[in-house]
Structure 1
Amino acid sequence: MDLLFQHSQAQRILRQRNILAATSVALAGLALVMVFISMSRDREIVLQPVLRSPVTVSSAGVSRDYLEMITRDVVILTLDRSPQNLDYWMNAVLDITAPRVHGKIKADLLKIVDEQRGSSIAQFFTIQSMKLDPAGLHSEVSGDLTTIVGSKVVSKQPRTFRYDWEYSGLSLKLIGFGLVDKSQTKD
């Protein structure tokens, strides 16, 4: 009886050892697979050069910080131009435009390109203030619009521009922009 007990005890220990060995081999194999997957996957981190805080994008809507950063960059893109960069300028603006208004904005930009091509007129905008409406997806930017002919500054006028946005599928797209006529707005 003692021999029978020892034999059953040895069999039970042997079974436990085999289960432990099989589990160890399976976990080691899983660890190797995970290491291989993590080494073979491309990792991507989006870096913004000038940020006050981390930016997150949510399906719930556009954050005020994100709208401010996008507006700041788009203002510079849309209002700084010279005859030497007109094609790049137009294509860059169209890249950030919503597909549903692409044709209309392209027609407006082509008018500007036709007027300015071959001239020596350049312009740039200096931002002084910004009003943001993340809920209504609007931005108003005020500042000085400077026009240069050749190498001479011919005008420097305070102007306000309005940018209208569309937020769809975690993507903010431009649907319109233009000069704000102060005579039609209420202060």
Structure 2
Amino acid sequence: MEISYTHAQSQRVLKQRNLLIVTTVGLSILSAILLLVTATRDREVVLQPVLHSPLSVSSAGVSREYLELITRDVAVLTLDRSPSNLEYWMKSVLEITAPSAQGRVRADLMKIVNEQRGSSIAQFFTIQTMEIDPKNLWSTVTGDLHTIVGNKVIAKDRRTFRFNWQYSGLSLKLVGFGMVTTGKERDQ
């Protein structure tokens, strides 16, 4: 009787072990499939709050709406400056600049900071039109660049500025920006 009881107990333990092995193999296969699906799927991050609707950024590329909103904000950041906010202005522009372009952009910004420091010249930009190219990662803004000395507006010129971008992972970074010069502006 003791032998049959031991045999039945051993059979029950073997069934439990086999069931545990089958469950472990099944869960391992399921984990591998989920890992593969996760690794090959485009990632998205939902950005909130945005003006009129939710906006997402995908690893598949930059959406036109996102590039337009970023261009608008970066145009205001880069083109609105006064002697009292030069350090903040330069730090903010460098924070959104791609690491590969920071040296060149920093040198250009330092020239502006050194020219404008201690003066009473400020400027602000009002956007009139914008052109966006999400495939080639560039955008242009056209508008009025207002120059102020003291508290008097001394100039209001229609200008176009181009912004070049780099997209890596889920991060859009500024590579460079500058004024677009036409033949008429070069002649002056």
- State whether TM-score is above 0.5: yes
Partner residue of 2:31? none
Q: In 1, distance between residues paired with 2:48 and 2:73?
A: 15
Q: What one-letter code is carried by the residue in structure 2 that aligns with 1:60?
A: A
Partner residue of 2:151? 151
Deviation at 1:154, TM superposition (A): 0.6
Deviation at 1:182, TM superposition (A): 1.7
Deviation at 1:125, TM superposition (A): 0.1
Partner residue of 1:100? 100
2:48 is the counterpart of 1:47: yes
Partner residue of 1:173? 173
Alpha-carbon displacement from aligned partner over 1:33-74 (angstroms, at most 9, x marks no partner): xxxxxxxxxxxx8533x5232211111100000000000000
Q: In 2, distance between residues paired with 1:120 and 1:148?
A: 8
Q: In 2, distance between residues paired with 1:99 and 1:169?
A: 14
SS across alignment from 1:57: strand
List runs of 5+ in structure 1 lacking aligned partners. 1-44
Partner residue of 1:111? 111
Structure having the higher strand fraction is 2
How many residue pairs were aligned?
Answer: 139
Q: In 2, distance between residues paired with 1:117 and 1:130?
A: 30
Alpha-carbon displacement from aligned partner over 1:129-187 (angstroms, at most 9, x marks no partner): 00000001000000000000001111000000000000001100000000001229xxx
SS across alignment from 1:75: helix
Q: In 1, distance between residues paired with 2:122 and 2:68?
A: 25
Q: Name which one, 1 or 2, has greater alpha-carbon Rg.
A: 1
Query: Root-mean-square deviation (CA), in Å?
Result: 1.3
List runs of 5+ in structure 2 lacking aligned partners. 1-45
Residues 47, 56 of structure 2: 8 Å contact kept: no
Q: In 2, distance between residues paired with 1:51 and 1:64?
A: 15
2:77 is the counterpart of 1:83: no
Alpha-carbon displacement from aligned partner over 1:65-88 (angstroms, at most 9, x marks no partner): 000000000000000000000000
**How does the TM-score come out when normalised to structure 2?**
0.72
Alpha-carbon displacement from aligned partner over 1:100-125 (angstroms, at most 9, x marks no partner): 01000000000000000000000000
SS across alignment from 2:103: helix
Q: In 2, distance between residues paired with 1:183 and 1:135?
A: 27
Structure 1's consecutive aligned runs of 4 or more residues displaced over 6 angstroms after TM superposition are: none
